[in-house]
Structure 1
Amino acid sequence: MLRKLVFLAVVGVFLVDATCDTTIFVACQDKFADKLGIDRYAFCYSRLNPLGLTLQIQDIYINGGVAAERGLNVVCNAYNSMVQCLSDASTTTFECFDMGYLLTHSSAPNQAYSYGFLMSMLQYQCGAGFYLASDNWQCMQRIYNGKNATMYGCITDFVLNAQEDPKRGCNYVQTGMDCFSKASTLQGCPDELKYYGCESFRQYSLPQFARCDKQCTIDTQYRGI
């Protein structure tokens, strides 16, 4: 037990008294899977392999859903249905995505962090960042289609490096932000999407590295601010 507490202190996790009901959480994740169009059995495996789930979501961004529904809409409708499911059961994502809870209910730290990272990024992409991507979705779809492997590489490198050497975590956060920002650059697409890419990754890193003083630059001229 002492070794576990020491490990959590080293990686800088701030644990709260999470009260997530695991049975409810699993049921709400099943709704998430249904909305994504992922078989529940396959999704059960994906919960154990969050990096694989990350790649599946990027593929949905590229290919869309049934009846040619935009990938962004498919993913965000699925995410919002999971959030609503938790809310209907009088619980919240704050409790069920809490890193203390995820670490306790995962077989390995990498698994817990990868899931928490993904949910944090989706919260941004389906919240504050939604309209920035939605208004430029043809560009974003082309970016995901052409740079899917690059963006997935940004994520896997970060996860592996951050868990191997968490003391240098803030450096890895900056590397990931730069990686996503560069990947979100495409001829004929607005430069503002570089901010979307950068902020997506910054949000991805927050469950473990909120302490890092990293910010993404906003092109205020383009935004008309």
Structure 2
Amino acid sequence: MLQKLIFLALIAISLAGATCDTTKFEACQDTFADRLSIDRVYNWLNPLGLTLQIQDIYINGGVAAARGLNVVCNAYNSMVQCLAAASTSTFECFDIGFLLHHSTAPNQAYSYGFLMSMLQYQCGAGFYLASDNWQCMQRIYSGKNATMYGCITDFILNTQEDPKRGCNYVQTGMDCFSKASILQGCPDELKYYGCESFRQYSLPQFSRCEKQCPIDTQYRV
């Protein structure tokens, strides 16, 4: 099942030549919300609300106590499959240019694009790191939820007000997520997971920054 999760998260790579159909995109977002068991109002028009819903699932799990990471990633991959079935490119639908054109405010477009970029990492390359240490990650999300959400909202506000300093804000966000991912009794490599999650979050607008996350394999005791 885990291999299937990784595979589905990468489906979009093969669809680069397609375009995004707004109606089908919205239907696939409904699929995403339904699989998360959240209200459909949490979509691309309410990305920060969607972010909080996802973090809540990471903390509390899904229906019948299903593990939060699996719930979110299965839902994400269902949306990717939905877009693929509609002959739509995931990257086209998550592209900042497309989102800016179809959203009512820049912050809205960027916030949704950022979130989808982070989920692609957390349900793809970063999945096993979090999955193998999920008890720690669940405790981190539970104890640092407000901190991590603050990292995100500060980044969005600062980069929209002063985009010329965007790379500085990317580093601040990476450091913020990295520090939030430190917990006694948990491997320090989770600092990398936190840092890389935020780095991936920033890529839709700030890939030019070329920031990197250090890898730490020590344990906190």
Task: Give the corresponding residue for 2:57.
Answer: 60
After superposition, give the CA deviation of every residue in 1:119-153 in whole Å (9 maximum; x if it has no partner). Answer: 00000000000000000000000000000000000
CA distance in 1, matches of 2:149, 2:78: 25
Task: Give the corresponding residue for 2:201.
Answer: 204
CA distance in 1, matches of 2:184, 2:89: 40
Shift of 1:19: 2.4
Question: Would you say the 8 A contact 2:45–2:108 is kept in 1?
Answer: yes
CA distance change for structure 1 residues 138 and 24 in 2, over 3 Å: closer, same or farther? same
CA distance in 1, matches of 2:189, 2:127: 13
CA distance in 1, matches of 2:103, 2:76: 21
Decide which structure has the larger Cα Rg and report it. 1
Q: How many residues are paired up?
A: 204
Task: Give the corresponding residue for 1:35.
Answer: 35
Shift of 1:47: 2.9
Shift of 1:17: 9.6
After superposition, give the CA deviation of every residue in 1:137-195 in whole Å (9 maximum; x if it has no partner). Answer: 00000000000000000000000000000000000000000000000000000000000
CA distance in 2, matches of 1:47, 1:219: 34
- 4+ residue segments displaced more than 3 Å: none
RMSD: 1.6
CA distance in 2, matches of 1:94, 1:160: 24
Which of these residues, 185, 188, 193, is aligned with residue 191 of structure 1?
Answer: 188
Question: Would you say the 8 A contact 1:18–1:101 is kept in 2?
Answer: no
% identity of equivalent residues: 87
Runs of at least 5 residues in structure 1 that lack an aligned partner in the other structure = 1-15
TM, length-normalised to structure 1: 0.87
Greater Cα offset, 48-57 or 121-130: 48-57
Runs of at least 5 residues in structure 2 that lack an aligned partner in the other structure = 1-15
CA distance change for structure 1 residues 131 and 72 in 2, over 3 Å: closer, same or farther? same
CA distance in 2, matches of 1:173, 1:74: 28
Task: Give the corresponding residue for 1:4.
Answer: none
CA distance in 1, matches of 2:33, 2:46: 14
Question: Would you say the 8 A contact 2:18–2:88 is kept in 1?
Answer: no
TM, length-normalised to structure 2: 0.89
2:137 matches 1:140? yes
Question: Would you say the 8 A contact 2:17–2:89 is kept in 1?
Answer: no
CA distance change for structure 1 residues 221 and 55 in 2, over 3 Å: closer, same or farther? closer
CA distance in 2, matches of 1:153, 1:220: 26
CA distance change for structure 1 residues 52 and 39 in 2, over 3 Å: closer, same or farther? closer
The aligned amino acid for 2:81 is Q
